[in-house]
Structure 1
Amino acid sequence: MKKTLLSAFAALAFFTGTAQQKQPLLSLIPEPQSVQTLQGQVFITPQMKYFTNGAGAEKAATLFNLFLKANYGYSLEKGTMQNSTLIFSEDEALPEEGYQLTAAKNKIVLQGRAAGLFYGVQTLEQMLPDAVKNRIAVPSVTIKDEPRFAYRGLMLDVGRYFYPVAYVKQFIDVMAHYKLNRFHWHLTEDQGWRIEIKKYPLLQSVASKRKETSKGHLREGKFDGKPYGGYYTQEEVKDIVQYAADRFITVVPEIEMPGHAQAALAAYPELGCTGGPYEVSTKWGVHKEVFCAGNDKVFTFLEDVLTEVLPLFPGKYVHIGGDECPKDRWKACPKCQARIKALGLKDEHELQSYFIQRMEKFLNSKGRKIIGWDEILEGGLAPDATVMSWRGEAGGIAAAQQKHDVIMTPNTYLYLDYLQGSSATEPLGIGGFLPLERVYSYEPYPASLSASEKQYIKGVQGNVWSEYIPDGKTADYFTYPRALALAEISWSPADKKNYSRFTGALPQRLAALQARGVSFRIPESPGEDVQVLADNGSVTADLTPAVAGAKVYYTTDGTIPSTGSALFTKALTISQPMTLKYVVVLADGRSSAVYTRTYIRKRYKNAQPVNAVNKGIRFNAYYRTFNQAKNTGGKADSTGILPTIDIRPFIAKVTFGVTYEGYVKVDTDGVYEFKTNSDDGSLLYIDDELVVDNDGEHAPTEKTGLIPLRTGMHKIRVQYFDAGGDQQLQVSFGLKGKQSVNLRNALFY
């Protein structure tokens, strides 16, 4: 039968291969390896019949029929090879996850192995229009596709906050639709143990619960006073693992060791270096309480735990953590020090390596392999370990050079708990700044690796850490649409990546996520946050929403917009300086944050003709009393050079003033936002123009200013005074709406 199907497809390709014409843009994410548009369309109607030639093909057909029923109200009947015009064909000649989809001459043929057919169905679903009922027009096309990387992962941290089974399944559903195939399930943490272990019941009754939770930012030291807990039974775990497997996703469990273990220690304090007492942590961060590496009972406990965990997860990988393990307790622990001496280890880092290698040997004996965060490199890498590189790419590069497999997940690109926009408009978060475009720009193969070393980069993963993500809706907000960029990084060929094409496909894909009930972050309308008006000139403001079917409401007088404000219907002409504010409202009524565009009339400042090559900035300090920053000056009591703008060398003085002068390096033309946060007053000048006026005696106050700058060196001067009491000066700058530049790398004299 396969031969007949392949012969039929060959004839189909022959008749359509030369009949090409431009077709409407396909809104596909991730972008396939090859897309050839053909003439015409194929219509799916209730009268169409489908045919399959194997179990994998039948599964794909059933899946597609369920999609049709849910979205269009009908499903297709099965026919014969002769009377069917929708063919699902198992084809062992194609790669494991590859597929070929052809729609032409009134027939749709999908070929692949089981996983490839599944992914082909996802692509076919994305090709179908939204609102047609009985006559669904499929563009004529030939798509040949397979993934770039075998490991395409997304991690969900359920240790800090527990997510119900229904949400985990929805998370998996969306992953599968975008062809992600590894669900990394972070199950244990200082703040909670989330998986049932029958041999150790206190993990359920004690370790899964905390008395309260940090409220607001950790630095605020506030707590909500409410008990919190939850865990997954082994039956629930089996259910989720099978649910994922049905969607060609392998679940990678993470059982943290030797650090991030305080919840387990609260249940079994004898496993810690001090013997406790311990409590399940109520605050985020890195904690000193870790498993005792000198106590054999710890290894018995972990082996017992893994003995129950392994049958639940049939995949070859088990993640053992290995990150953020402070050595304080080990340094003071007689058992740990005795083990270091007995084994002839150099230090506590080698003790951690011993810990990891001992657990690896156990897992290898069970036919499994370990993955660990890049700290497992410290003290020597376990022989067969896979390294998950999170602290930038350095760990991944080092592991690949040692011929170890690597999963790239650098926090600088793929930590999806980082903020996506300004902290003024985003939900409470851990910090950082990781907009969609930066995620999309990531290239998993480091340029420093040779071709032979790059073969050890097995894939890429995004991480959703949950310290500030208490529920599923918030998890959706932080995860999407950035996980769609991750999908394209991990699946699409490098030469197919194109951010403009990707954002062009987003409106339809986000509308589909909306229909699934996914509470993604509603993106800003495409365009610059700040624009400069030329003399007597104007610019166009296009507020077209980034979600199909959404509406945009705006104001131009600085007030907060609502659905009662002006409705955007066509591009606006901006000829005067103004602050334009807008909201994007979805068809279901959900609204974005208030987004702002600023239009200013200023001339760009050209770079200074200087050759400043020394890093740092000059200062003049005045140890006397001032009442305004503008008055700082006179004969300096101290002069010198600092690596950055810093008042710490002077805070021993009761009152003082200081002036900093040098050059700031600008890497690209644009409108730059400068900020000072000071107590007391500060002034900031660029090329002798006052940009930030934060003068006067006051408590910590932040003020900002905008200035258009050309690439190159620009003169910077900051004046500050402290009249007594608290002292503070923070200076930052960056392109408006973008991440701040590290001043240490930008200041010269």
Structure 2
Amino acid sequence: MKLKKILIVGLSILLINKITVAQNNSAELNLMPVPYEVELADGQFRLDNTFCVGINNNDERIFKAALRMINILSGRTGICMERQFPDTTKVYKTWQMVISINRKGNLNADEDESYSLDVDENGISLKAETNIGAIRGLATLTQLIRADENGYYIPAVKIKDEPRFKWRGLLVDVCRHFIPVDVIKRNLDAMAAVKMNVLHWHLTEDQGFRIESKTFPKLHQLGSDGLYYTHEEIKDIVAYAADRGIRVMPEFDLPGHATGWLVGYPELASAPGPYSIERNWGIFSPTFDPTNEETYKFLDAFFKEMSELFPDKYWHIGGDENNGKQWNANQQIQDFMKKNNLPDNHALQNYFNIRLGKILAKYNKTMVGWYTDKQPDLGKDYVVQSWKGRSSLYESAKNGYRCLLSHGFYIDLVQSREYHYMNDPIPQDTILSDEVRDRILGGEATMWAEYVGAETIDSRIWPRTAAIAERLWSPGSVNNVDDMFRRLDIVSMQLEDYGLTHIKNYDMMLRRLANSYDITVLKNFVDVIQPIFTYDRKKYRRPKSFHPLTKVADAARPDPRVAREFDQRVSSLSVKDVNNEEIISSVTKMLDLWKNNHAQLQKLIKESPVLNEIETLSKDLSVCADIGLQAIDYMKKKLQPEQSWIDAQMEILKKAETPRGETELAITKSIKKLIEMTKKS
């Protein structure tokens, strides 16, 4: 027993050392997610127009993936490759990169995604058990490309890699605002680039039913405003995702969030209709009647139709935020509950879910559902998606259910990269048993669409979701926030190769707001503000589905990069000699810019009334910047200000933190740091 303990400790130390080396080496290589094991070597493989990729078999999926990789490399380097297509003829002497796979991968949650990648001056070798693992390796290779005065190259390296969690998903809500096919596809490309493997497609809501049904055509005819996906488009997207090793799990939300269903089929509701598409956001009462046998006949026929479009084993039934009002007011439902010993609405919904589970089992589907306020009482093949914190995740796992974490990954709430990055489903200090840990499949970022449309959705998903992708793929010990920020800035630019608009649409939206090609002063301002926490936006107006998504709050970015860089400089100043001229100069330059920007922005606001709502916030930015300059002046002179001055400035900063135009300043905490530093002058 003692020897066994020593061996376990020794293996653990070896594992930690390997991961630490991988993290340090990946920092040099700008990889995201960080691989499990990375070993740098001397030398480099030089890219030129003779680059040729060979594949050891005729697998179609890896052929397409290799072709996409060649196109990315060619586009990024400007090199016109003589061999534009991968070679499967097995003329090995012409191959500079060899891709070797043992078998075709199956699109399921337990598939092998591991790979090894070896690069030296003579060539590149990518090996994987499955073509899906090889696709993950190609994503890493694409991030390895570097440049110097002699051209483009890939550094010599040995990588062994595998995911930490088997389920690394992105939910896209296409109901509250419809998201076109091309936008879904470019986000699938980006997901593959950072090794995510599940698209959770939220297709039905109070605000819209977004999929064609040939069995029940009134669903999309009356419930979509004409904005829905045809069968052909669904098949196209599912195939597109499969080519990238990504599973597609549909969500058909039941029994609540059901207005979109009931517009066309009000007889299935728990209260008489008629119903119309909801134009507001929130939790609404329309709910399926779980006591009506016609409900189950309807859903059986619908699920049968949809199961032929979605081959994935997992099927999301929603299940959250049923307010129960229609059930409580329906005497027939209340009588049913009493007759069947169902004490409350939770028990009634559990009954409903059991019935759904039996229907889905006919089509070889496994149910996934959102955690409600209580634990389910279902078969242990049911998967619980937790959006109310890790405590509900762990409770579900301890009760024998497989689980997914989404709490902390709600990217629609416009929270910081750091917050998402440090949200580990299983922290390193966990006391969970191995059995419980194994039931935690992974997690999903969730892009709910109350405040996004086709023009803005990329900027709300990316680049923050790349940080979430690393949290779900890389070892838990990979958690250096500063290095994450550094690598994320690089990866964010690379993601533009896949057609994402998260960077380029920013200037376009500012030009529209300014009604001018010259957006300099507007950009100076918007660079250091951020949209307020999403749930707080309803305090300032009652949002509706037809409100424009073109205002300053829509153009502003979550966790803005310029504000973060300013905070990093201020923080570095706080731990160094205040006489560090380089840092002092850079901080002062930024503060001077913001102090003087308001006067110029005022002129633009007079010509573009849509900017009126942020005029006072712009003025407060100028005032805050001036406070920062005064603080630096105290530090330079090695003087400590009177407490009355400190108190007065802090009060001004507090008032400046009041949101305007559904945005807020992102640099006030940094100015407060400068004030605190004056106490040590």
Aligned-residue offset at 1:480: 1.1
**Aligned partner (choices 501, 520, 531) of residue 483 of structure 2:** 501
Matches of 1:110 and 1:323 in 2, distance apart?
A: 43
- Decide whether the 8 Å contact of 1:529 with 1:598 is kept in 2: no
Q: Which residue of 2 aligns with 1:188?
A: 204
Q: Which residue of 2 aligns with 1:80?
A: 91
- SS of the residue 1:297 aligns to: helix
Q: Does 1:555 align with 2:572?
A: no
Q: CA RMSD in A?
A: 4.0
Aligned-residue offset at 1:505: 1.4
Q: Does 1:492 align with 2:474?
A: yes
Code of the aligned partner of 2:435: S
- Decide whether the 8 Å contact of 2:25 with 2:39 is kept in 1: no
CA offsets, 1:83-113, max 9 Å, x none? 4221111146998111111111411111112
- Higher Rg of the two aligned structures: 1
- SS of the residue 2:321 aligns to: coil
Q: Which has the higher strand share?
A: 1
Q: Does 1:29 align with 2:32?
A: yes
CA separation of 1:461 and 1:596: change in aligned 2, threshold 3 A = farther
Total equivalences in the alignment: 540
* Residue pairs, 1:8-87, within 5 angstroms: 25-56=28-59, 58-71=63-76, 72-75=78-81, 77=83, 78=87, 80-87=91-98
CA separation of 1:232 and 1:552: change in aligned 2, threshold 3 A = farther
**Aligned partner (choices 552, 565, 586) of residue 526 of structure 1:** 565
Aligned-residue offset at 1:538: 4.8
Code of the aligned partner of 1:184: H
Q: Which residue of 2 aligns with 1:175?
A: 191
Q: TM-score, normalised by structure 1?
A: 0.65
CA separation of 1:436 and 1:289: change in aligned 2, threshold 3 A = same
CA separation of 1:392 and 1:55: change in aligned 2, threshold 3 A = same
Aligned-residue offset at 1:703: 2.2
Matches of 1:345 and 1:143 in 2, distance apart?
A: 56
CA separation of 1:138 and 1:602: change in aligned 2, threshold 3 A = closer
CA offsets, 1:289-322, max 9 Å, x none? 1111221122222222111111111111000000
Q: Which residue of 2 aligns with 1:275?
A: 272
Q: Does 1:258 align with 2:243?
A: no
- Decide whether the 8 Å contact of 2:380 with 2:400 is kept in 1: no
Code of the aligned partner of 1:89: S
Aligned-residue offset at 1:137: 1.0
CA offsets, 1:461-482, max 9 Å, x none? 100000111x223111111111
Code of the aligned partner of 2:181: V
**Aligned partner (choices 406, 411, 415) of residue 416 of structure 1:** 411
Matches of 1:310 and 1:253 in 2, distance apart?
A: 10
**Aligned partner (choices 104, 111, 117) of residue 120 of structure 2:** 104
Q: Does 1:444 align with 2:447?
A: no
* Residue pairs, 1:89-100, within 5 angstroms: 89-91=100-102, 96-100=112-116
Q: Which residue of 2 aligns with 1:463?
A: 446
- SS of the residue 2:223 aligns to: coil
CA separation of 1:693 and 1:61: change in aligned 2, threshold 3 A = closer
CA separation of 1:693 and 1:64: change in aligned 2, threshold 3 A = closer
Code of the aligned partner of 1:189: E
Matches of 1:688 and 1:44 in 2, distance apart?
A: 58
Q: Which residue of 2 aligns with 1:119?
A: 136
- Decide whether the 8 Å contact of 1:553 with 1:561 is kept in 2: no
- Decide whether the 8 Å contact of 2:49 with 2:79 is kept in 1: no
Code of the aligned partner of 2:208: G
Flag structure 1 segments of 5+ consecutive residues without an equivalent. 1-20, 210-228, 420-433, 546-550, 564-578, 583-593, 605-684, 695-700, 707-733, 739-749
Matches of 2:232 and 2:451 in 1, distance apart?
A: 28
- Decide whether the 8 Å contact of 1:294 with 1:337 is kept in 2: no
**Aligned partner (choices 453, 457, 461) of residue 479 of structure 1:** 461
- Decide whether the 8 Å contact of 1:250 with 1:315 is kept in 2: yes
Matches of 1:246 and 1:36 in 2, distance apart?
A: 30
Matches of 1:356 and 1:23 in 2, distance apart?
A: 45
Matches of 1:509 and 1:146 in 2, distance apart?
A: 20
Matches of 2:586 and 2:98 in 1, distance apart?
A: 39
Q: Which residue of 2 aligns with 1:332?
A: 329
- Decide whether the 8 Å contact of 2:178 with 2:454 is kept in 1: no
* Residue pairs, 1:312-323, within 5 angstroms: 312-323=309-320
**Aligned partner (choices 345, 349, 369) of residue 348 of structure 1:** 345
CA offsets, 1:189-217, max 9 Å, x none? 000000111121111221112xxxxxxxx
Aligned-residue offset at 1:456: 0.5
Matches of 2:627 and 2:39 in 1, distance apart?
A: 39
Matches of 2:52 and 2:592 in 1, distance apart?
A: 49
- Decide whether the 8 Å contact of 1:580 with 1:596 is kept in 2: no
Matches of 1:536 and 1:131 in 2, distance apart?
A: 35
Percentage identity across paired residues of the two chains? 31
Code of the aligned partner of 2:257: H
CA offsets, 1:572-605, max 9 Å, x none? xxxxxxx9979xxxxxxxxxxx99994563999x
CA offsets, 1:310-368, max 9 Å, x none? 11111110000000001111112123123212322122210010011110111122211
- Decide whether the 8 Å contact of 2:201 with 2:249 is kept in 1: yes
Matches of 1:386 and 1:282 in 2, distance apart?
A: 31
Q: Does 1:160 align with 2:176?
A: yes
CA separation of 1:89 and 1:581: change in aligned 2, threshold 3 A = farther
CA separation of 1:110 and 1:365: change in aligned 2, threshold 3 A = same
Aligned-residue offset at 1:241: 0.4
Higher relative CO (CA 8 A, sep ≥ 6), structure 1 or 2? 2
CA offsets, 1:223-250, max 9 Å, x none? xxxxxx5000111101100000010000
- Decide whether the 8 Å contact of 1:256 with 1:322 is kept in 2: yes
- Decide whether the 8 Å contact of 1:403 with 1:456 is kept in 2: yes
Q: Which residue of 1 aligns with 2:655?
A: 703
Q: Which residue of 1 aligns with 2:146?
A: 129
Matches of 1:735 and 1:88 in 2, distance apart?
A: 48
CA separation of 1:257 and 1:531: change in aligned 2, threshold 3 A = same
- SS of the residue 2:43 aligns to: strand
* Residue pairs, 1:320-719, within 5 angstroms: 320-375=317-372, 377-378=374-375, 380-410=377-407, 413-419=408-414, 434-445=415-426, 447=430, 449-469=432-452, 471-520=453-502, 521=557, 523-524=561-562, 525-528=564-567, 531=570, 537-538=578-579, 541=583, 555=593, 557-560=595-598, 598=628, 601=631, 703-704=655-656
CA separation of 1:130 and 1:449: change in aligned 2, threshold 3 A = same
Code of the aligned partner of 1:198: K
Matches of 1:47 and 1:692 in 2, distance apart?
A: 63
CA separation of 1:74 and 1:398: change in aligned 2, threshold 3 A = same
Aligned-residue offset at 1:543: 10
Flag structure 2 segments of 5+ consecutive residues without an equivalent. 1-23, 106-110, 503-556, 602-618, 635-642, 659-665, 671-681
- Decide whether the 8 Å contact of 1:58 with 1:88 is kept in 2: no
- Decide whether the 8 Å contact of 1:554 with 1:580 is kept in 2: no
- SS of the residue 2:93 aligns to: coil
Matches of 2:26 and 2:467 in 1, distance apart?
A: 24
Moved more, 362-371 or 507-516: 507-516
CA offsets, 1:719-746, max 9 Å, x none? xxxxxxxxxxxxxxx99549xxxxxxxx
- Decide whether the 8 Å contact of 1:151 with 1:459 is kept in 2: yes
CA separation of 1:272 and 1:448: change in aligned 2, threshold 3 A = farther
Matches of 2:239 and 2:66 in 1, distance apart?
A: 20
